[in-house]
Amino acid sequence: MPKTVATAHQPLAERLRPKTLGEVIGQQHLLGEGMPLRIAFESGQPHSCILWGPPGTGKTTIARLMADAFDAQFITISAVLGGVKDIRDAVEAAQIAQGTELENASGVGGGGRRTIVFVDEVHRFNKSQQDAFLPHVESGLFTFIGATTENPSFEVNSALLSRAAVYVLQPLAEADLQQIVAKAQGIGAVPAIEQAALDRLIAYADGDARRLLNTLETLAVAAGKEKIEEITDTWLLKVLGERMRRYDKGGEQFYDTISALHKSVRGSDPDASLYWFMRMLDGGADPRYMARRLIRMAAEDIGLADPRALRLALDAAEVYERLGTPEGELALAECVIYLAMAPKSNAVYNAFNEAKALIKKEGTRPVPLHLRNAPTKLMKDLDYGRDYRYAHDEEGGFAAGENYFPEGMRAPEFYRPVERGLEIRIADKLRELKKLNNQKN
């Protein structure tokens, strides 16, 4: 089938954008049968939501499909380029679609068509700009969909957040990215690709479909000019050069390298840790991504053995945000070495996972009466808060023998500190408190 002029000049990412829910690749934890967004689509009732996830995971696509599913007018606002005027224009367009203006003028309603207002990079709007949406979301004039790569808990106003469901999108898996490559080849947009080159491209995309498609388009143009029938690994490196360097010297996958860094830090080897850290920076890894991983390492592998590690990791991330590349990278390197040399403990990590597993396994146990809050007379009459022992009034500030678990529940020991760093002292404290509890009981 011959391509139309419009189609031929469309970016590959746009040509492959899914037209139906069934064409969406990835995000099956949201779009699969019985999953939250699939249920929303099938309900026939759109609702305001925030799509939170990394770049190239389908946020805009899902918003557009939602508009199509509900036959709604789709208005896009870029928070990077837009402002209050764009919001006013969107409100006016929504009123016209709903027929509000016609009704106000003549008493005759319009067609009543729904409107979806999609705000890309919503976290870049300030508080007053975000507040401008509230009355119209409340009134139902339009359905608000925000897309963000940042944690909405910190970047979106609580008032707007309370009126929108938050859906977390995940980076696309390797199998998902391979499907996208196959679709591009299926429409003749990309030549054949040898397996080594394909593996390198998938790793380079790092879960980002847009990055993958833009790279494929670049390669397709270059291959056409050179009359290349198959993209080989050697030719791929020649064409993309520095952009692909992170996968040189044997073609390591991106996640293999970050795994090596994490394991070197966990293994308390500062030189190996710094080596892998610099390998990733030299290869083009986003320093912000590196900063997030260092924060994770501080929480998972060091924990309370040295609580300063988490604070230092957060400080290093902030320094990078202020200084950027290359100055800010030194702070991240300092953090890498500190984390490698810090005493290690995964006691908090293990306790977190054990507590999470127990909560999922067990039913909901009622809160004991003595631990309940009693702000009203009725609650006091029902014995809420009765016999609660205020620890600050007890000897040593500790209510020995008091029970803080639901009735009938055997007290689990989720947190088991290790004999390293500050957790040595924490373990001593826990043993002392346990002894006092046993004496009281």
DSSP string, 100-152: HHHHHHHS-------EEEEEETGGGS-HHHHHTTHHHHHHTSSEEEEEESS-H
Lowest mean pLDDT among 45-59, 249-263, 284-298, 354-368: 249-263
Q: What is the pLDDT of residue 362?
A: 82
Q: Residue 22 — very low, low, confident or very high, per pLDDT cuts 50/70/90?
A: confident
Q: Residue 147 — very low, low, confident or very high, per pLDDT cuts 50/70/90?
A: very high
Mean pLDDT, residues 214-237 taken together:
90
Say whether pLDDT at 47 is over 60: yes
Q: Where are the alpha helices (DSSP H) in 302-366?
A: 308-323, 327-341, 347-361
Length of the chain counted residue by residue: 441
* CA-to-CA dists, residue 422 to 263, 269, 416, 419, angstroms: 22, 20, 13, 8
Structural domains in the chain plus CATH codes = 27-168 (3.40.50.300), 174-245 (1.10.8.60), 254-341 (1.20.272.10), 366-440 (no CATH)
Say whether pLDDT at 322 is over 80: yes
Q: Which two tokens stand for residue 33?
A: 């049968």
Burial of 217 (0-12, 13-18, 19+ CB in 10 A): middle
- Helical axes 233-240 vs 209-226, angle rounded to 10°: 100
More confident residue, 249 or 185: 185
Please state, in angstroms and rounded to a whole number, the distance separating the CA atoms of residues 204 and 175. Answer: 14
Which residue do the tokens 């293994």 mark? 267
Lowest mean pLDDT among 212-226, 249-263, 301-315: 249-263
Q: What is the pLDDT of residue 237?
A: 82
Q: Which residues contact 171 (CB under 8 A, 6 or more apart)?
A: 53, 54, 57, 206, 207, 208
* CA-to-CA dists, residue 167 to 29, 30, 118, angstroms: 10, 8, 14
Say whether pLDDT at 4 is over 80: no
Q: What is the pLDDT of residue 183?
A: 94
Please state, in angstroms and rounded to a whole number, the distance separating the CA atoms of residues 61 and 20. Answer: 10
Say whether pLDDT at 103 is over 90: no
More confident residue, 210 or 441: 210
Q: What is the pLDDT of residue 242?
A: 58
Q: What is the pLDDT of residue 80?
A: 84
Closest CA to 307 of 359, 343, 259: 343
Query: What SS3 class is residue 13?
Result: helix
Lowest mean pLDDT among 9-13, 23-27, 232-236, 276-280: 9-13
Q: What is the pLDDT of residue 361?
A: 83
Q: Which residues contact 93 (CB under 8 A, 6 or more apart)?
A: 73, 75, 115
Mean pLDDT, residues 112-123 taken together:
90
Backbone angles phi, psi at 423, to 5 degrees: -70, -15
Q: What is the pLDDT of residue 107?
A: 38
Please state, in angstroms and rounded to a whole number, the distance separating the CA atoms of residues 36 and 50. Answer: 13
Mean pLDDT, residues 16-32 taken together:
91
Q: Which residues contact 6 (CB under 8 A, 6 or more apart)?
A: none
Q: Residue 106 — very low, low, confident or very high, per pLDDT cuts 50/70/90?
A: very low
Say whether pLDDT at 13 is over 90: no
Say whether pLDDT at 245 is over 60: no
Share of the chain above pLDDT 90, in %: 42
Q: Residue 375 — very low, low, confident or very high, per pLDDT cuts 50/70/90?
A: confident
Pair 237, 289: CB distance under 8 Å: no
Q: Residue 100 — very low, low, confident or very high, per pLDDT cuts 50/70/90?
A: low
Q: What is the pLDDT of residue 29?
A: 92
Question: Other C-beta atoms within 10 Å of 419: how many?
Answer: 10
Q: Residue 253 — very low, low, confident or very high, per pLDDT cuts 50/70/90?
A: low
* CA-to-CA dists, residue 427 to 341, 403, 433, angstroms: 21, 20, 10
Please state, in angstroms and rounded to a whole number, the distance separating the CA atoms of residues 204 and 259. Answer: 16
Q: What is the pLDDT of residue 176?
A: 94
pLDDT 10s digits, 77-88: 998 888 888 889
Q: Which two tokens stand for residue 106?
A: 């003549």
Mean pLDDT, residues 406-413 taken together:
85
HSE of 29 in the Cβ direction (CA atoms, 13 Å)?
A: 8
Q: What is the pLDDT of residue 109?
A: 39
User: What is the chain's mean pLDDT, rounded?
Assistant: 86
HSE of 441 in the Cβ direction (CA atoms, 13 Å)?
A: 9
